[in-house]
Amino acid sequence: MATQSTPPVSLPRHSKSNNPNPYPLSPTVNNDRYTILSLINQCNSTKQLKQVHAQMLRTGLFFDPFSAGKLITASALASFSSLDYARQVFDQIPQPNLFTWNTLIRAYASSPDPIQSLLVFLQLLHHCEHFPDKFTFPFVIKAASELKAFRVGRAFHGMVIKASLSSDVYILNSLVHFYGSCGDLDLAYAVFVKTPQKDVVSWNSMITAFAQGGCPEEALELFRGMEKENVKPNDVTMVGVLSACTKKLDLDFGRWVCSYIERNEINVNLTLSNAMLDMYMKCGSFKDAKRLFDKMQEKDIFSWTTMLDGYAKLGEYDEARHVFDAMPSKDIAAWNALISAFEQNGKPKEALAVFRELQLSKDAKPDEVTLVCALSASAQLGAMDLGRWIDVYIKKHGIKLNCHLTTSLIDMYAKCGDLEKALEVFYSAERKDVFVWSATIAGLAMHGHGRAALDLFSKMLEAKVKPNAVTFTNVLCACSHTGLVNEGQRLFYQMEPVYGVLPGEKHYACMVDILGRSGHLQEAVKLIEKMPILPTASVWVTLLGACRLHGNGNIELAEQACSHLLELDPRNHGAYVLLSNIYAKTGKWDRVSGLRKIMRDFGLKKEPGCSSIEVNGIVHEFLVGDNSHKLSKEIYSKLDEIAAKLKSVGYVPNKSHLLQLVEEEDMKEQALNLHSEKLAIAYGLISTGPSQPIRVVKNLRVCGDCHSVAKLISRLYDREILLRDRYRFHHFRGGNCSCMDYW
Ligand SMILES: [Zn+2]
Ligand SMILES: [Zn+2]
């Protein structure tokens, strides 16, 4: 402990002052110093360090700044380092010198809690008699990059200039990296260009910044520039270059890079092998990927995941399974890789099958990642029983609900049709980040509670949670489902000036939907014309959909939207269907048959309609006219019964739907009767108790006839029916639908 006799030491390492050292070390202390330093070097645990520390306190050597600095270095940066302990040691030093401050700042900058690095830096400014130097700035700037703290990093940049350190290559490299990770490529490039003596790290920082910042073209250009300047690239360079190829989906250049690596004998470590593997997979060369994978001596979870993901994307389940079976350890990370490979690639059923298998196996226990994946798969399928089971599992095992899991639970309950439960999870959550709020807003929106969604958005702002792009997509969606035109417009135009969120393609599509759906077609067109980004297919689809609703007499607009759409996506089946429906609605039958001929000639395949319903934890799927279900006979006789009942109350099938091309089927007379959602509802009626709601999930938009039939069934059978289609929920009760027929 510091006593009064302790000299207040803070000796600069290279003191240029003329004063003689006020605290010269006696020869014995000097001897002790060497002994202690060699002891510190021999330590290989915090426990041993603590023993040396105690000895240093006894001999007073702890107050020799040089020795104390060594102790800090060992406790903060050694392989067995403990930052808490380093901090304790630091706090005991009466006046740490700059070297000691820098050591602590550096250790915190690479720790999981980089903000500590900035806090120590602030203390340094107050308590240290020296100004931060070229060993301080690279690390605080690194901490600012980790935190993406743009303003803080800019302030450091200013201090660097003031301290005349702006020609230091280490500092400049860290600034390039900082601006790159904050997404400001212009500033990153400005610093890069001004770096006087660029080393390989300078080039690497800029190439990586371009590759990760969505400018792969520039990254590759820079790589060529680097060659011209005769700077020899290393493995880090090649990882950046490969990532640019992957972003550009440029297999040829990617292949060239791989051979370049070989020719130039660049050290191929695991990270670089993984980058090559990722490039081959994402650019679609499974053969090359497989060859490389088989050759790789060392593989980590990333390598295995890349293979699993690639095969799952291709729908090669057996191959994916082979890869999984070959994995050396079936720990939870391996299981998660397989589950999420299926879940992320639109195969929720397969994902859940693996999840069930995991529960039976003794190899591993589900962790947070597993549960998030399984919840998301349940949400996609509308498999509420399973989702609920996962909720119980979380509670039973005392797994802490972080924001990620909370978001997944809310999303699952909302998408499975239990909005109340979703809200319950929301209100009982201890921590609510922007994703938790946004998921709840989305839940309210898809169930047609637009006003409530907007109220929740205001509460979110009151809670000082900053909305992001996802929040705005959900809020605008809420406006479009409920026809809140003015509110939607107000929020859309506030996005950038008030909240600093740049409207993206999804926001424009939502806005076109809000305007188009409510009949403001001309305004929608004006908005599209003013878009600062090129309108995407989804924007044109939305406009075309609006034309179908309101476009009577405005066939020209529909045709324009359709031709724009087909320019971007020539095989868009939905475009032909929508346009042909518009022709049918206005009686232009010659054009309808013309379109149908084009579709036939092009061999355009439609996505088959599919509805699913979960009964007792098992998901049953129905296609149109399906008779593969084992209760098929009962289902069809139920349908006959329904038809008779409907007829008795005067229901006539909606002929206009028969005459139109519906999204899924050809114009067959009986097609309407056999739509997949009707089969699923009929199955729900015979297989669930009379008080249970029937929950059906459909992959396409529900057709008008099925919508009216579901309304009637909800009255005639006194059953709640929840139908989730591609866009939203329809909650049928007592003959009405929650969408108020606005969909
Ligand atoms: Zn239908
Ligand atoms: Zn509805």
State how far the Cα of 671 lies from the Cα of 715, in Å rounded to an integer: 24
Q: Which residue in 24, 2, 19, 17 sits closest to 130, CA to CA?
A: 17
Residue 723's SS3 state is strand
For the chain, helix, strand, coil in percent to 5 are 65, 5, 30
What distance in angstroms lies between residue 108's CA and the mean position of ligand 2's atoms? 55
- The ligand that comes nearest to the alpha carbon of residue 736 is 2
Residue 338's CB: how many other CB atoms inside 10 A? 29
What distance in angstroms lies between residue 628's CA and the mean position of ligand 1's atoms? 19
Per-residue DSSP letters for 71-87? HHHHHHHSTT--HHHHH
> Lowest-pLDDT range, 35-39, 373-377, 436-440?
35-39
Instruction: Calculate what percentage of the chain has a pLDDT beyond 90.
Output: 53
What distance in angstroms lies between residue 705's CA and the mean position of ligand 2's atoms? 11
Orientation of helix 137-147 relative to helix 169-181, angle to 10°: 10
Torsion of CA 633, 634, 635, 640, to 10 degrees: 90
What distance in angstroms lies between residue 663's CA and the mean position of ligand 1's atoms? 9
Reported as a single tens digit per residue, the pLDDT across 543-573 is 988 888 875 668 888 888 888 988 888 878 8
- The ligand that comes nearest to the alpha carbon of residue 730 is 2
**Quick one: pLDDT at residue 667?**
43
Strands 694-698 and 618-623: what pairing?
unpaired
List of residues 6+ apart from 168 with CB closer than 8 A: 134, 137, 160
What distance in angstroms lies between residue 474's CA and the mean position of ligand 1's atoms? 27
What distance in angstroms lies between residue 520's CA and the mean position of ligand 1's atoms? 28
**Quick one: pLDDT at residue 437?**
98
DSSP 232: P
Reported as a single tens digit per residue, the pLDDT across 119-142 is 999 999 998 888 999 999 999 999
Flag whether pLDDT at 676 surpasses 80: yes
Cα 262–Cα 268–Cα 270 angle in degrees, nearest 5: 145
- The ligand that comes nearest to the alpha carbon of residue 665 is 1
If you average pLDDT over residues 403-416, what whole number do you get? Answer: 96
What are the phi and psi torsion angles at 620 (to 5°)?
A: -105, 130
Flag whether pLDDT at 593 surpasses 90: no
The model's confidence at residue 34, banded by pLDDT at 50, 70 and 90, is: confident
If you average pLDDT over residues 433-454, what whole number do you get? Answer: 95
**Quick one: pLDDT at residue 11?**
30
**Quick one: pLDDT at residue 509?**
94
Strands 736-737 and 729-733: what pairing?
antiparallel
Strands 694-698 and 610-615: what pairing?
antiparallel
Strand order in the sheet with 729-733: 618-623, 610-615, 694-698, 721-724, 729-733, 736-737
What distance in angstroms lies between residue 737's CA and the mean position of ligand 2's atoms? 5
Reported as a single tens digit per residue, the pLDDT across 348-381 is 988 999 999 998 888 788 999 999 999 999 999 8
Query: Which residue blocks in 129-197 are alpha helix, DSSP H?
Result: 137-147, 150-162, 169-181, 185-194
The model's confidence at residue 720, banded by pLDDT at 50, 70 and 90, is: very high
What distance in angstroms lies between residue 668's CA and the mean position of ligand 2's atoms? 24
What distance in angstroms lies between residue 592's CA and the mean position of ligand 1's atoms? 20
- In DSSP terms, 614 is beta-bridged to 619
List of residues 6+ apart from 494 with CB closer than 8 A: none
What distance in angstroms lies between residue 51's CA and the mean position of ligand 1's atoms? 78
State how far the Cα of 139 lies from the Cα of 413, in Å rounded to an integer: 44
State how far the Cα of 223 lies from the Cα of 206, in Å rounded to an integer: 10
State how far the Cα of 147 lies from the Cα of 495, in Å rounded to an integer: 24
| R_g of the chain, CA atoms, integer Å | 32
Flag whether pLDDT at 65 surpasses 60: yes
The model's confidence at residue 17, banded by pLDDT at 50, 70 and 90, is: very low
Torsion of CA 614, 617, 623, 626, to 10 degrees: -110
The model's confidence at residue 452, banded by pLDDT at 50, 70 and 90, is: very high
The model's confidence at residue 671, banded by pLDDT at 50, 70 and 90, is: low
Reported as a single tens digit per residue, the pLDDT across 235-258 is 999 999 999 999 999 999 999 999
What distance in angstroms lies between residue 445's CA and the mean position of ligand 2's atoms? 13
Which helix H or strand E contains 513, and what residues bound it? helix 505-517
Per-residue DSSP letters for 670-712? GGGGG-HHHHHHHHHHHHS-TTSPEEEEESSPPPHHHHHHHHH
What distance in angstroms lies between residue 174's CA and the mean position of ligand 1's atoms? 59
- The ligand that comes nearest to the alpha carbon of residue 481 is 2
State how far the Cα of 483 lies from the Cα of 665, in Å rounded to an integer: 29
If you average pLDDT over residues 197-206, what whole number do you get? Answer: 94
Maximum Cα interatomic distance, the chain, rounded to a whole number of Å? 111
- The ligand that comes nearest to the alpha carbon of residue 705 is 1
Q: Which residue in 329, 372, 374, 380 sits closest to 356, CA to CA?
A: 374
Q: Which residue in 210, 204, 201 sits closest to 183, CA to CA?
A: 210
Provide the strand spans (E) within 252-406. none
What distance in angstroms lies between residue 144's CA and the mean position of ligand 2's atoms? 49
What distance in angstroms lies between residue 607's CA and the mean position of ligand 1's atoms? 14
Considering the chain, what is the average pLDDT of its residues?
87
Orientation of helix 150-162 relative to helix 137-147, angle to 10°: 160
If you average pLDDT over residues 280-290, what whole number do you get? Answer: 91
- The ligand that comes nearest to the alpha carbon of residue 706 is 1
User: Do residues 98 and 12 lie in contact, with contact meaning Cβ atoms separated by under 8 Å?
Assistant: yes
- The ligand that comes nearest to the alpha carbon of residue 678 is 1
Determine the straight-line distance between the first and last CA of the chain, rounded to whole angstroms. Answer: 74
- The ligand that comes nearest to the alpha carbon of residue 675 is 1
Question: What residues sit around ligand 2, an ion, with C-beta below 5 angstroms?
Answer: 730, 737, 739
- The ligand that comes nearest to the alpha carbon of residue 671 is 1
**Quick one: pLDDT at residue 673?**
64
State how far the Cα of 739 lies from the Cα of 730, in Å rounded to an integer: 6
Orientation of helix 403-415 relative to helix 384-396, angle to 10°: 150
If you average pLDDT over residues 591-603, what whole number do you get? Answer: 81
Flag whether pLDDT at 649 surpasses 90: no
Reading the block at residue 237, the tokens are 């360079």
Question: What residues sit around ligand 1, an ion, with C-beta below 5 angstroms?
Answer: 675, 703, 706
Reported as a single tens digit per residue, the pLDDT across 728-741 is 899 999 999 988 87
Residue 610's SS3 state is strand
**Quick one: pLDDT at residue 194?**
93
What distance in angstroms lies between residue 451's CA and the mean position of ligand 2's atoms? 17
- The ligand that comes nearest to the alpha carbon of residue 701 is 1
The model's confidence at residue 29, banded by pLDDT at 50, 70 and 90, is: low
- The ligand that comes nearest to the alpha carbon of residue 723 is 2
Residue 611's SS3 state is strand
